[in-house]
Amino acid sequence: MRTFILPSLPYVVIFPFMICTGQPSIWGELSEEVTLPCSFTPGDNVVIHWYVGSKNVHRYFNGADQLEKQDVGYKGRTSLFLSELSRGNASLKIINVQRSDEEKYSCYVGTKEGREQEESTVKLHVAVFKEQSIHYEAKNKEIHLSCYVNNSFPANATNIRWYQNGNLHKESMASRSSLNITNHTDIIQCVIEHTSLNTNWTGYWQMTEHNLTEGQSAEFECELCQTKNTSVSVTWSLRNNSQETEIASLDNATDKLKFSEKYKPRITLIDVNHFKINDLTEEDEGDYVCVITEAKGMHINVTSISINSAERSYLTIIVFVISGIIIIIIILTIFFIRRSQNRRYMSAAEDHAEDTQRTNDLLL
């Protein structure tokens, strides 16, 4: 029978300990939090001891945490679910997971009514899933998209899936993948999955195209999910002739867009992420790119604007009107020619009929 002595008490208490049942192994993400499972049969005078080898990870007895002798590597990073102890939950939460936390953990729980059980340990594996992104380039009317994760471990645990208009297009076990698009109306989705952590990150891309005239206004909107607990950033930029110019940005869903000095005089703000640029010029032609970055994904919405000069538009209207007049004249000319031809035909027919009648009269 395993026993554990609590020397910090004014008297010696010896509990028969039961080793909790738990999962053989569990994955935790670097810099995030993880819960190591441990359950027991509820009872009175609960004593909990989490440890790795000779390291004291977390102790609980006398109805409180006892962390004076806790290993320095876990200081301020461990906690129990105290409200669930009465239900037999002795699981340990570790926050800000470190590479050094990758160990084999044991959880001992003793109660007044406890009895020894078969030994079990929980192996913690630490995985990395950071710096995901989706990127696009436009070359010769073809869109090139790339989807990738720069920091992922284990290396063979990353899977990337591409969806076009909701349908799976291709899939690969890799940390980087690309896709070429010729149909600009397609809605593209890229899902990067970490199979060990059972978590994923999603990138979205879509484009709309508009033809406008110099002097007009253009409205831009990018759907933004306003969640209080989710950090989000938004950037608006104009890509034109291989140059990228920042238009606006915000760092929180509750903030307002901050516009660059170049665009401020021509901006009308309609809503949080909805605005209008007035008095368009030919220099405003290009791709307006909205990038929304959240913890679990990135949205790229592209609005491609083609701008016709007012002079060209005026000439186009004149040409259109003149062309219309010419077409009408041609139609009327054809109409009158045919009507004249019909009249001559009818007249000739009547003359022929009269001649025939006179001939018949003479014969009679």
Q: How far apart are CA 296 and CA 285, in angstroms?
A: 32
Q: Which residue in 27, 216, 244, 57 sits closest to 127, CA to CA?
A: 27
Identify the pLDDT of residue 354.
65
Q: Which CATH architecture has domain 3-119?
A: Sandwich (2.60)
Q: How far apart are CA 107 and CA 86, in angstroms?
A: 17
Is pLDDT at 314 greater than 70 in this prediction? no
Structural domain boundaries in the chain = 3-119, 130-205, 214-308, 314-364
Query: CA-based Rg of the chain, rounded to a whole angstrom?
Result: 39
- pLDDT band for position 6 (cuts 50, 70, 90): very low
Identify the pLDDT of residue 229.
47
> Of 301 and 15, which is predicted with more confidence?
301
Is 30 strand, coil or helix?
Answer: coil
**Is 214-308 in the same CATH topology as 130-205?**
yes
Q: How far apart are CA 49 and CA 55, in angstroms?
A: 11
Contacts of 219 (CB under 8 A, 6+ apart): 270, 274, 275, 276
Mean pLDDT to the nearest integer, 50-59: 94
Q: Which CATH architecture has domain 130-205?
A: Sandwich (2.60)
Q: How far apart are CA 194 and CA 153, in angstroms?
A: 9
Per-residue pLDDT tens for 73-108?
999 999 999 999 999 899 999 999 999 999 999 998
> Of 114 and 32, which is predicted with more confidence?
32
pTM of the model: 0.73
Per the DSSP assignment, residues forming a β-bridge with 50 are: 58, 107
Per-residue pLDDT tens for 256-277?
889 999 999 999 998 878 899 9
CB of 202 closer than 8 Å to CB of 191 = yes
> Of 56 and 344, which is predicted with more confidence?
56
- pLDDT band for position 3 (cuts 50, 70, 90): very low
Percent of residues, the chain, with pLDDT higher than 70: 81
Contacts of 87 (CB under 8 A, 6+ apart): 42
Query: Which pairing describes strands 297-308 and 199-213: parallel, antiparallel, or unpaired?
Result: parallel
Instruction: Take residue 227 and report the two structure tokens written for it.
Output: 């969640």
Is 244 strand, coil or helix?
Answer: strand
Instruction: Report in angstroms the alpha-carbon separations of 143 from 135, 146, 169, 201, 305.
Output: 10, 10, 16, 22, 16
Amino acid at 281: T
Mean pLDDT to the nearest integer, 232-246: 90
- pLDDT band for position 37 (cuts 50, 70, 90): very high
Q: Which residue in 215, 220, 250, 210 sits closest to 233, CA to CA?
A: 250
Q: Which CATH architecture has domain 214-308?
A: Sandwich (2.60)
Identify the pLDDT of residue 311.
57
CA angle 186/192/193 to nearest 5° reads: 135
Percent of residues, the chain, with pLDDT higher than 90: 56
Instruction: Take residue 352 and report the two structure tokens written for it.
Output: 């022929």
* Furthest CA-CA distance within the chain: 156
> Of 162 and 225, which is predicted with more confidence?
162
Per-residue pLDDT tens for 114-148?
554 445 689 999 999 999 999 998 877 789 999 99
Q: How far apart are CA 22 and CA 88, in angstroms?
A: 13
- pLDDT band for position 251 (cuts 50, 70, 90): confident
Is pLDDT at 7 greater than 50 in this prediction? no
